[in-house]
């Protein structure tokens, strides 16, 4: 049985295997220090001008340093019509999942 520490990793892996797109909404400088494998960097302030980088037919999994910016991104994307975007929270929760 997996410990609770690994549950977020299992859930993240499963979502990605099912086709979710992983979006890091932190700044480029923050991402230079590390990102989750397979994630694309799309800083919060660029969300509205870089929609071509997002696949609106897929689930979007958004994360940042604390979960606050990813929640703002989720709200923006929902207002723009994306039906399945989720704030998965803080990078630190998943950085050991690689």
Which ranges of the chain would DSSP assign to H, the alpha helix?
Answer: 7-17, 28-31, 68-79, 91-94
Q: Mind telling me the catalytic residues?
A: 64
Tell me which of 49 and 87 has the higher pLDDT: 87
pLDDT tens-digit readout, 32-42: 999 999 999 99
Would you place residue 97 in the very low, low, confident or very high pLDDT band (cuts 50, 70, 90)? confident
pLDDT tens-digit readout, 15-33: 999 999 999 999 999 999 9
CA distance 59 to 68: 19
pLDDT at position 1 is: 36
* Residue 13 clears pLDDT 80, i.e. is over it: yes
CA distance 18 to 67: 23
Q: Is the dihedral of CA 54, 72, 84, 95 positive or negative?
A: positive
Model confidence, pTM: 0.90
CATH superfamily of 7-97: Rhodanese-like domain (3.40.250.10)
Domain boundaries, the chain: 7-97
């Amino acid at each position: 049985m997996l410990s609770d520490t690994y549950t977020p990793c299992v859930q993240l892996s499963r979502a990605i295997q099912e086709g979710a797109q992983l979006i890091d909404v932190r700044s480029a400088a923050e991402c230079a220090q590390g990102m989750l494998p397979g994630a694309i960097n799309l800083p919060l302030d660029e969300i509205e001008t870089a929609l071509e980088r997002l696949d609106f037919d897929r689930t979007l999994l958004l994360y940042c340093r604390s979960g606050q910016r990813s929640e703002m991104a989720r709200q923006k994307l929902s207002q723009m019509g994306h039906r399945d975007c989720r704030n998965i929270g803080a990078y630190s929760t998943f950085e050991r999942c690689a």
